[in-house]
Amino acid sequence: MKLRDTGLGFSPITILIHWIVAGLAAWMIWSGLSATYGDAGGKAGMVYLHSIAGVVIFIISTYRLWARLSSYHPLPIGSPNPIEVMVSRSVAVGLALAPVLLPLDGWLMMSAAGKAITLPGGIVLPALIRPNVEVEQVARLLHKIGAYAFMAGLALHIFGAVKHHFVLKNDTVRRMLGKRVEL
């Protein structure tokens, strides 16, 4: 079993992390939108669940970002358009960076608001800074912009997967499901 990505394919670890992060990202989007636009009664619970998922996704995605930057990225399947390759690689880099940067910004935002991030088992993350209203507002704005940019990148990523599977009818999606494919 190969442990690192090669020019020919993704490692099983990369594939597993991809799908774990996909599930957590869906959860993060749902819980974040629910906390933002939901009723005030359930907001604290949603923020708590969002924070837990943020810590988990941060840990997994930090490893994934390191693995992505230190390994070869598999070649595209077929004869892709060079512009599409550049767009897809840019989206992939954004989707690799966002799950690392957004949780850090969320932590900064919560710290600036004077709120502790409590994890299961009574673990409390230390505040990054002292409460500061201006920093909280900037961090909140950056978090919102980053979250919507992430969702736009995710939509492009899903569009590309659908295009590869249904329009181009190649094995790109099968490769992300762990199947061995020919380039």
Give the separation between CA 120 and CA 123, rounded to whole angstroms. 6
Residue 126 lies in a domain: yes
Residue 165 lies in a domain: yes
Q: Tokens 């990505």 label which residue?
A: 5
pLDDT of residue 1 exceeding 70, the answer is no
Q: In terms of Cα–Cα distance, which of 153, 114, 8 is closest to 71?
A: 8
pLDDT bin (cut points 50, 70, 90) of residue 138 is very high
Residue 48 lies in a domain: yes
pTM for the whole structure? 0.88
What percentage of the chain's residues is helix, strand, coil (to nearest 5)? 70, 5, 25
R_g (Cα) of the chain, nearest Å: 18
Number of domain units in the chain: 1
List the Cα angle 17/103/73 in 5-degree steps.
35
Residue 51 lies in a domain: yes
Q: What is the pLDDT of residues 6-38, one digit of tens each?
A: 888 889 999 999 999 999 999 989 888 888 887
Residue 1 lies in a domain: no
The pLDDT of residue 74 is: 87
Residue 176 lies in a domain: no
The pLDDT of residue 26 is: 93
pLDDT of residue 148 exceeding 90, the answer is yes
Mean pLDDT for the stretch of residues 84-107: 94
Residue 115 lies in a domain: yes
The pLDDT of residue 36 is: 81
pLDDT of residue 56 exceeding 90, the answer is yes
Which residue segment(s) compose the domain that 58 sits in? 12-171
> What percentage of the chain carries pLDDT values higher than 90?
65
pLDDT of residue 2 exceeding 70, the answer is yes
